Amino acid sequence: MPVSWFLLSLALGRNPVVVSLERLMEPQDTARCSLGLSCHLWDGDVLCLPGSLQSAPGPVLVPTHLQTELVLRCPQKTDCALCVRVVVHLAVHGRWAEPEEAGNSDSELQESRNASLQAQLVLSFQAYPIARCALLEVQVPADLVQPGQSVGSAVFDCFEASLGAEVQIWSYTKPRYQKELDLTQQLPVLPWLNVSTDGDNVLLTLDVSEEQEFSFLLYLRPVPDALKSLWYKNLTGPQNITLNHTDLVPCLCIQVWSMEPDSERVEFCPFREDPGAHRNLWHIARLRILSPGVWQLDAPCCLPGKVTLCWQAPDQSLCQPLVPPVPQKNATVNVSTWEKVQLQACLWADSLGPFKDDMLLVEMKTGLNNTSVCALEPSGCTPLPSMASTRAAHLGEQLLQDFQSHQCIQLWTDDNLGSLWACPMDKYIHRRWVLVWLACLLLAAALFFFLLLKKNRRKAARGARTALLLHSADGAGYERLVGALASALSQMPLRVAVDLWSRRELSAHGALAWFHQQRRRILQEDGVVILLFSPAAVAQCQQWLQLQTVEPGPHDALAAWLSCVLPDFLQGRATGRYVGVYFDGLLHPDSVPSPFRVAPLFSLPSQLPAFLDALQGGCSTSPGQPADRVERVAQALRSALDSCTSSSEAPGCCEEWHLGPCPTLE
């Protein structure tokens, strides 16, 4: 029976011990012999035909004893099957014929006695409904051939069987010189566990019959001879036990045994090599600095590792090695072989108060009574004094005076190497309030000027209708064409918003937020949204309508405004708010997706007068849109269109991006 993850093994006795079944990774049968013998396993099974007994012509190899052992065949880590290993002990049977009996010369007889001994050994296995026969060829060297003496054993891996099955094994040679050996064995009826994942939980399924009672123990084994119980319970029948995946650690183990007298106990620790368990071990472990030079690590499991001193700059998260390095100390700590994770703790946490912008000095012994001092910086350890252009070098004389006048705090000392000191830097930090105030005044003036300019623009454009121009980014040439259209519309008069004129604001807030903000403002001011369709824009719209998603690409603007305006069309709120346009010769009107056809659709510049009339809400062109102005706009668009389509930067297909839906405006 295949067993996911592991099968529980057993040990017998009044005081049961715990053993684990050996795992075989090879998916095929194998055979091996003891030292001095050679074995060869025939491919596939053979017919189980013992044949009749024959007289031995001389010394022959015969089986003398059978042994079995339960193992697991696991071609995959999560797929194992119970298997019976067979060990056959061999001996030499018969004797050498005398010269007068054999009718051979002394030289021929001596030559036969110096030859190796070979035999074909058959192993027959039956466990309903399985019946198999395997054939091994065994060869014994001449120096081991001694009549009546044991020569070693042959091991066969293995015959698969099921828990609780009765197995029968026979062994004999071909030809057969003695009665075949036989062995009958009842395999134990034991529970087995299946370990599976269920979201953030790990599910342990105990598979036993309903009438059987078992004890279940979940515990930690931090060291081989120690055991820390976590959970114990008596169980009946099939059980499901749920563990949180964050509770798994490499030394988490399980024991199951029957509640009957002289029960058989089994154990397995399935998470020893699990990467997630090793990551959890790091998350659980806690490193504490009790005092300078004294530290404590709290963790449920122990692994070999090293502890060393390091230093941490104010703007950095991880410690850096000391320069010069301090010798590492061997210690029993939790070191993961799966990730390069570090545990660190700083003295500031307890002994020095809040984290400070101190300078760390390393005092090194250079002679019997001489020392040198250097300051630790991200670039290395700067000698004091120094001519380098670093912060510590600029304050070298002052730091040395503080160090010599005992104004620094000693953090750690070593009799052979030296000491580590922390020197306060507060009195050397000059706060330049004048520059700060000047920067604030400049910022306020710039903001005031921006607001004034924006107010003037609004005042100049009072009475003009607002419009938001949405397009796809199909290349530099196409962007110039879009810019020409936006500039022409601004002269009609219209207050036009387009992303090409707001790149800084677009970059600061993001495409989705910018388009949503502009659309909401335009519609609240009774403006109009202009959808400029291109082949790439049509392709994006079709994919969105069919798959409700678009693929990521460099042009996130198209996907952003598409997610903003599409709900208005799908929910019937587009009439009077939206106008669609496309350029002559770049798109056929039937290519525009049907949901967008509820809005008026115009081809530019051929239908420019009707388009401008739709933008003004049906007003006459006589006062606000003179014919000569309309003709100038049309001529500008034709010139830009001819330049775009004739250049190498003609618009291509837009790449697609996927963004979440934009909130709708009711």
> Rounded CA gap, 544 and 553, in Å?
14
Name the CA dihedral angle for 25, 30, 34, 38, rounded to a multiple of 10 degrees. -140
DSSP 594-618: GGGGGS-EEEETTTHHHHHHHHTTS
> Rounded CA gap, 420 and 413, in Å?
6
- Would the pLDDT of 417 be above 50? yes
> Mind listing the pLDDT tens digit for each residue in 79-133?
777 889 999 999 998 877 665 555 555 666 666 677 788 899 999 999 888 899 9
- Tell me what pLDDT residue 86 has: 95
> Mind listing the pLDDT tens digit for each residue in 358-368?
788 888 877 77
> Rounded CA gap, 336 and 279, in Å?
7
> Rounded CA gap, 469 and 484, in Å?
12
- Tell me what pLDDT residue 551 has: 54
CB-neighbour burial class of residue 338 (10 A; exposed 0-12, middle 13-18, buried 19+): middle
> Rounded CA gap, 511 and 598, in Å?
26
What domains can be seen in the chain, in order of their start residue? 23-95+114-187 (2.60.40.2160), 193-278 (2.60.40), 304-426 (no CATH), 465-618+629-644 (3.40.50.11530)
- Residue with the larger pLDDT of the pair 336 and 30: 30
CB 333 within 8 A of CB 283: no
> Mind listing the pLDDT tens digit for each residue in 551-597?
545 446 777 788 888 888 888 888 888 999 988 888 888 888 888 88
Q: Which of 613, 587, 575 is nearest to 492 (CA)?
A: 613
- Tell me what pLDDT residue 192 has: 64
Tell me the torsion sign for CA atoms 185, 191, 193, 194.
Answer: positive
Cis peptide before 663 (omega within 30 of 0): no
> Mind listing the pLDDT tens digit for each residue in 194-235?
677 777 788 777 766 667 778 888 899 887 777 888 888 888
pLDDT band at 17 (very low <50, low <70, confident <90, very high): very low
> Mind listing the pLDDT tens digit for each residue in 443-457?
999 988 888 887 666
Three-class DSSP labels, 489-524: HHCCCEEEEEHHHCHHHHHHHCHHHHHHHHHHHHHH
CB-neighbour burial class of residue 345 (10 A; exposed 0-12, middle 13-18, buried 19+): middle
Lowest mean pLDDT among 46-50, 94-98, 302-306: 302-306
- Residue with the larger pLDDT of the pair 288 and 353: 288
Q: Of the ranges 140-154, 359-373, 609-623, which is most confident? A: 140-154
What are the two backbone dihedrals, phi and then psi, of residue 541, each rounded to the nearest 5 degrees? -65, -40
Percent of the chain scoring above 90 in pLDDT: 11
Name the DSSP letter for residue 325: P
pLDDT band at 18 (very low <50, low <70, confident <90, very high): very low
